[in-house]
Structure 1
Amino acid sequence: MDQGDAAVWAAGIAAVAAVSGAAVGGLLTSRALRRQVRDQGDVEHQHWLRQERQKACTAVIDSYEAFSRVMVDCAAVVRRGAHRGADLMNRVQETYVVSANACMHLVPLGPEPLVEASKRLHRAIGAAARSMAAWDEAHREPSRSRERETADFEAAFAGLNPAYNRFMDQVGHVLQTPALRGD
């Protein structure tokens, strides 16, 4: 083999190596880009999830504050034993519906501890609203004793703050940590 043949073989081998290197480099670059796009999608989803949780938690907090103000008015009425009419019960119903909807909006957003705290708060709000409705119904019958309904309302009213505090503990925990895949 003379120098000319060796040069042709060397050029051929170099060309094959260059094409192979380009193909391998292209494959690795393609994989890296796909991973980068997937990771960026995960980051964007985590950001969206965190924003949605913040909005949903804010809605729960705002609706609970409105509901609890109505419940404070109810507690004053119950403790005085004086009926204030349909207006108060309309406010109970309106604020209950808003609070219940806000609590349930968190269910698909997770994570599970926040969902459970939201459900617990929803149950406490429902118990308070139902107990006030039962007290109101008993109050409409003057001959009926309202002792049981009063005790039930007081117990439900007392259960609101602990449920809200547990919810707020979870809100603080969830919103202080970044949203993670699988939350």
Structure 2
Amino acid sequence: MDQADAIIWATALGIGGTLAAGLTGPLLQARASRRQARDQEAFQVRHRLRDERRAAFATVLDQCEAFRHSINAAIEARMALEWRSEDAHWELWQSTDAALGALRRAATNVAITGPAPMGELADAVHAAAARQAGVWRMRLDLDDRLVQNAQADSAFADARRQFIAAAEKILALPTDEGTRHRGMLRRSP
């Protein structure tokens, strides 16, 4: 091989290397860009789901308060001496029934947004509220009604506490995941 052939081969290899680098660089960059876009989209979906869950969980708690307010008004009226019949205080039951319906819808929203255990806990909260309302619709003497109400109220408070504890765990963002995503989002393509 003479010197001219070596120059030609060196030039060809240089051109080939340049072409290979020119082709693989953009391919690698395109692959990295697609991966980053996929990761960004997954992060946004998780973030949106977390926000939807937070709103659904908060609605359950808001409806718990609305129910508590309406049932307390019905209990106070029932305990008052002027209570004559259920028909005389239908507006109190109407408010309580509306609060139970809103709590049922909120529990359904939690079941939809998930996860499944949260839906079950939301259903347990609704069931406990319905039991407490049912105590005041039964034909019982006042002492029995008060005993059953205390049990139902305790069950409602426990179900609510369990729901809150589970919601806090689900909504807590692990710090390593948050740091990883924040770092990923700052990277330039």
For the residues of structure 2 that align with 1:16 and 1:172, how far apart are their CA atoms? 59
For the residues of structure 1 that align with 2:11 and 2:134, how far apart are their CA atoms? 88
Contact 2:100 2:126 in 1 (8 A): no
Q: How big is the shift at 1:153?
A: 4.8
- Residue 50 of structure 2 aligns with an amino acid whose one-letter code is R
> Which runs of structure 2 are paired with 1:1-183 in the superposition (5 Å)?
1-79=1-79, 82=83, 83=85, 84-132=88-136, 134-135=137-138, 138=139, 146-147=140-141, 150=145, 153-177=149-173
Provide the identity percentage.
Answer: 25
For the residues of structure 2 that align with 1:47 and 1:126, how far apart are their CA atoms? 33
Please state whether the residue corresponding to 1:106 is helix, strand or coil: helix
Q: How big is the shift at 1:157?
A: 3.2
* Residue-pair matches, total: 169
For the residues of structure 2 that align with 1:74 and 1:25, how far apart are their CA atoms? 73
Please state whether the residue corresponding to 2:113 is helix, strand or coil: coil
For the residues of structure 2 that align with 1:98 and 1:112, how far apart are their CA atoms? 20
Match of 1:143 in 2: none
Please state whether the residue corresponding to 2:111 is helix, strand or coil: coil
- Residue 27 of structure 2 aligns with an amino acid whose one-letter code is L
For the residues of structure 2 that align with 1:158 and 1:34, how far apart are their CA atoms? 53
Q: How big is the shift at 1:122?
A: 2.0
- Residue 97 of structure 2 aligns with an amino acid whose one-letter code is Q
For the residues of structure 2 that align with 1:86 and 1:163, how far apart are their CA atoms? 28
Please give the TM-score of this superposition, normalised by the length of structure 2: 0.76
1:115-166 alpha-carbon deviations (Å, 9 max, x no partner): 332121122123233444x43xx4xxxxxxx249836555433321111111
Give the direction of change, closer, same or farther, for the CA distance of 1:147–1:155 in structure 2 (3 Å limit). Answer: farther
Please give the TM-score of this superposition, normalised by the length of structure 1: 0.78
1:84-143 alpha-carbon deviations (Å, 9 max, x no partner): 5211110111111111111211112223443332121122123233444x43xx4xxxxx
For the residues of structure 2 that align with 1:112 and 1:86, how far apart are their CA atoms? 36
What's the Cα RMSD here?
A: 2.5
For the residues of structure 2 that align with 1:99 and 1:108, how far apart are their CA atoms? 14
The unaligned stretches of length 5 or more in structure 2 are 178-189
- Residue 5 of structure 1 aligns with an amino acid whose one-letter code is D
Q: How big is the shift at 1:79?
A: 4.5
Contact 2:71 2:96 in 1 (8 A): yes
- Residue 76 of structure 1 aligns with an amino acid whose one-letter code is E
